[in-house]
Amino acid sequence: GVHRQILFASVGWVAGYFLLKRAKYVHAKVDRELLDYVRRHPEDFKEAEKRRIGELLEDFYPVR
């Protein structure tokens, strides 16, 4: 009946809430570890030289 639908909907909402909370925690933990590694090993992550947009794009030759 309707009471079962309400029960399952509320249980699903609570389960989804905690699963989403756990997923955000895991992703934040991975991000924190990666940023810590980058901070501790700057020689592995050198700044790339700045290039102009003309250097990035290939020359355009129209084909007719």
3 state SS of 43: helix
Contact yes or no for 21/29 (Cβ under 8 A): no
Percentage above 90 pLDDT, the chain: 66
pLDDT band at 54 (very low <50, low <70, confident <90, very high): confident
- Is pTM beyond 0.75? Reply is no
Whether residue 40 has pLDDT greater than 90:
yes
Q: CA-CA distance, 7 to 62, in Å (whole number)?
A: 64
Q: Where are the domains of the chain?
A: 13-44
Amino acid at 14: V
